[in-house]
Every structure is written in C-alpha cells, then in structure tokens.
Amino acid sequence: MDCKSELLKSTWLPQWDIQRRVPAFIGNGPPSSVFNFEGKYRNIPACDILKLPNNEGAAFQSDRDLLFAGSTTGRGPTSKRTNPHALPPRSSESVASFLPLGVSTEAFTVPNPTMFTGSGGWHMMDSAQPSNGWMMSRIRKSRSPAATNDVFGQLYYHIVDLISEVHKRLSPAKVSIQMMQIDANDLSSHFGPSQTRLDRIEASNIVDLAYLNALGVVGQLGPLLKAPSVNPHATLITLFMNAVHDMWSPHVDLKVYENALNQVREYLPVSLPRHPSDAGLMRTMSAAEMFKDFDGIFDRQCAYLSLYPLTQDGALRYKERFGFVPVLYSMGMEMKREHTIIDKWFMRLKKRPGEDRAKEEFQDLLNGQHTGSDRHVEWRLRR
C-alpha cells in the first residue's frame, strides 16, 4: 500500500499548491508546535568528539574526561556517535512504532510514550523527524536489507548496527557516566579548583543568541578544560545553528541571494511560478539557502559579539583599532584557527556542480531540514 502512495509520484503536489492558497506554515505567527515539544529527536548529526588520530594519537590509551553540556537526549555520552534512544523509522499512526517498510506492527498496541502524551497529544514539533539527526550520505553507504526508497528503514538498520558496534566496543572498557540535571549556566559551579578538568567539552548550540550566547558559554565552560601543559588538545566544541539566520539581512545580502539563485540553477530546473504559493518556487527558495555566503555572514556575528580575533597578533591589532581586547580573549580563550575534531561547516555542500555525485549530495541536503549553515567553532585555552 505504501509502495503505491501518491507521494512517490514525480507529479505529486501538496494540497496548498493545488488549491493555490498560502500554506499553514507560512505566516506571521510562531512555528507550528503541537502540544509540548520535548526534543525527542536531535536535529543535528552526532560526531566523534575525540578524533584521537588528529589529536592525542590513534594509539592513545589513557582515560579521557568528557563533558556534554548541551545534551538533552543522553545521546552524546553514550558513545560519541550513536543515539540509542530512538529506533526509527516506519511509523504506525496509532502507536508511533518505528519499523522498516513491510515489518508487521501488529504486536504494537500501546501508544509510544516518547511520542504521545498520556492524553494522546503529540510531544514534538510537527516538523520533527528522526532522519534530521543523521547524515543521510552515511545511511546510504551502509548495507541494509530495507527497500531502496525506504529511507527510514535504512536508518533503522543503520542505528541497530551502530548500537551493536558500540556495545561491542564498550563491553571490555571501563566507562563512568555521571548525569547532571542542572542548567548549563550552573555547570561551572560544580567544578571546584580541585576537581577534574576536561579533555573535551561539547556544548551543542547553547551558544546561539536565543539561548546562553557565546560569551556566557565559552567564558564559563572554557576554563574547565585541562591546561595546555596537561593536554594541548583539550577543546571546547560549540555549534552556532542560528548565526547565519540571525545575521542575514535581505538589504545587505541581496546580491548574495541573487548569486545563490544562480547556483541553484545548476541543480534544479527553475521556471516562472504559476502563483504566489507555487511549490516549485518555495523549493527553489529553500535550495538557495544552501548557497548563501555563510562565511561572510558568520564573520558579521563574530564581529558583533567581539569573538574575533584568533591570535595574539590579531588581538593587538583589534585593540589598536577599537581600544579594547575582545572579551573572551582577555579571559584566556581563543578560537582554534584549524579544526582538529569537526569541520567548521560540517553539513555544507562539499562538491561543485558537475562533480561526481554532486547532485546526490545536493538532493540529500534539500530533502532534509538543513541548509549547511550550521557552524562549529573549536575553542582552547590560550597558550
């Protein structure tokens, strides 16, 4: 029945396009959030925050002390790579069980409490989907018995394999996990002068302006890193998910957007819209988000927050120009010029038009809810 769905046809159009009306997700109101959003699905893929080969060395055997300051899913500390709390996909409408296409849901008779409230309401944002927290390019490379177009089924088997791998690797190891149910603002107060300092701190996107912002997070958590004399690779990892969006200005960046639209034409056929709510137009506009000048826009936020410069020489030039040293630099923190753990723009399109599998990379990003504008920044204590 699913295989014959209208959604699989290339001619499918959403009802708001057919009816030529403005879709419900566009308007002046807030994003549609049904019932209580509790963040069951992480919306950014997990990463290996140790990257030993690039840092302490692949043969490194000593203990490492890690802090996941922005984790609400328990996903980070479990393995660095996996999210065992959710086993997607294929949802049964009544109980929200996630299984590959064709697998019977007959045994699932109780509504999934991680999806539904006790009264039958939906816990999450209406746009939430488990694939947002995974790199689809990796999913497609993994071996799976799921149907070719059953993306959620492929994801299901991928997660099962990862959980098995994590179990095998952790079983002989000694791992100590301490869960703290406290506000990230209060974390630094739990680490006294005599307590353990850390080799890695992963702060997720609590550095965004809508949350604690970079000055507060880096200023409080950065000093918890081990001193460079103890571990020169100790790193605080932050994620600016909204920086490009926050600093985007249609007046300042109009030329940039025009250039982005031209790049979209390398991947998608662009035609005149049939009406203001044309689905093709909205698809083109969404795709154009992938080609904005992310670096230039992010630099504006760094300047706005006085996060730059990267080096001591840069700090002196900054002081000569503006009369003061950037706050975080004066507090002993600096951005790492070269990342050793995760790419700065880790979800950004890497291939150029015409390169092998460039269209597949573009389509994977377009089909998800990311544009590639998520920016990681690695920080360290000044040497």
pLDDT digits (tens, 9 = 90+) for 248-262: 776 666 777 788 888
Mean pLDDT, to the nearest integer, of 100-129? Answer: 76
How many Å is the maximal CA-CA distance in the chain?
71
Look at residue 82 in the predicted model and tell me its pLDDT.
39
Cα atoms in the 13 Å half-sphere on the side-chain side of 94? 6
Rounded Cα–Cα distance for residues 273 and 265 (Å) = 15
pLDDT at 20 over 80: yes
CB atoms closer than 10 angstroms to residue 253: 18
Mean pLDDT, to the nearest integer, of 359-378? Answer: 88
pLDDT at 162 over 70: yes
pLDDT at 296 over 70: yes
* pTM summary value: 0.81
pLDDT at 31 over 50: no
Q: How confident is the model at residue 378 (pLDDT cuts 50, 70, 90)?
A: very high
> Which comes out higher in pLDDT, residue 46 or 227?
227
Three-state SS for the chain is: CHHHCHHHCCCCCCHHHHCCCCCCCCCCCCCCECCCCCCCCCCCCCCCCCCHHHCCCCCCCCCCCEEECCCCCCHHHHHCCCCCCCCCCCECCCCCCECCCCCCCCCCCCCCCCCECCCCCECCECCCCHHHHCCHHHHHHCCCCCCCCCHHHHHHHHHHHHHHHHHHHHCCCCCCCCCCCCCHHHHHHHCCCCCCCECEEECCCCCCCCCCHHHHHHHHHHHHECCCCCCCCCEEEEEECCHHHHHCCCCCCHHHHHHHHHHHCCCCCCCCCCCCCCHHHHHHHHHHHHHCCHHHHHHHHHHHCCCCCCCHHHHHHHHHHHCCCCHHHHCCEEECCCCCCCCCCCCCCCCCCCCCCHHHHHHHHHHCCCCCCCEEEEEEECC
- Report the range of poorest mean pLDDT among 33-37, 98-102, 182-186, 308-312: 33-37
| Most confidently predicted of 75-89, 169-183, 214-228 | 214-228
Residue in this structure with the two tokens 């990342």, named with its chain if needed: 339
Look at residue 382 in the predicted model and tell me its pLDDT.
87
Look at residue 88 in the predicted model and tell me its pLDDT.
35
pLDDT at 236 over 90: yes
pLDDT at 160 over 80: yes
Look at residue 32 in the predicted model and tell me its pLDDT.
44
- Report the range of poorest mean pLDDT among 29-38, 56-65, 103-112: 29-38
Rounded Cα–Cα distance for residues 253 and 245 (Å) = 12
- Report the range of poorest mean pLDDT among 111-120, 163-172, 196-205: 111-120
Asked if the peptide bond before residue 309 counts as cis, ω within 30 degrees of 0, the response is yes
pLDDT at 74 over 70: no
Look at residue 313 in the predicted model and tell me its pLDDT.
58
Rounded Cα–Cα distance for residues 311 and 335 (Å) = 8
Question: What distance lies between CA 226 and its chain's CA centroid?
Answer: 26
pLDDT at 40 over 60: no
- Report the range of poorest mean pLDDT among 75-89, 130-144, 161-175, 198-212: 75-89
Nearest to 244 by CA among 302, 327, 308: 302
- Report the range of poorest mean pLDDT among 59-73, 164-178, 250-264, 305-319: 305-319
* CA dihedral for 180, 184, 186, 187, sign (positive or negative): positive
β-pair partners for 380: 334
Rounded Cα–Cα distance for residues 241 and 296 (Å) = 15
- Report the range of poorest mean pLDDT among 103-107, 222-226, 249-253, 268-272: 249-253
Percent of the chain with pLDDT over 90: 22
Nearest to 78 by CA among 110, 46, 56: 46
Look at residue 264 in the predicted model and tell me its pLDDT.
92
Q: How confident is the model at residue 381 (pLDDT cuts 50, 70, 90)?
A: very high
Rounded Cα–Cα distance for residues 186 and 193 (Å) = 15
Mean of pLDDT over the chain: 79
Mean pLDDT, to the nearest integer, of 134-146? Answer: 79
pLDDT one-digit tens code per residue, 308-360: 554 555 555 555 555 545 667 778 888 888 999 999 999 999 999 889 999 99
Residues 6+ apart with CB under 8 A from 83: 42, 46, 73, 75, 133, 159
Look at residue 197 in the predicted model and tell me its pLDDT.
92
pLDDT at 38 over 50: no
Nearest to 364 by CA among 284, 280, 287: 287
β-pair partners for 375: 240
What are the angstrom distances between the C-alpha of 164 and each of 79, 152, 157, 231? 11, 18, 11, 31
Residue 306: what residue type?
A: S
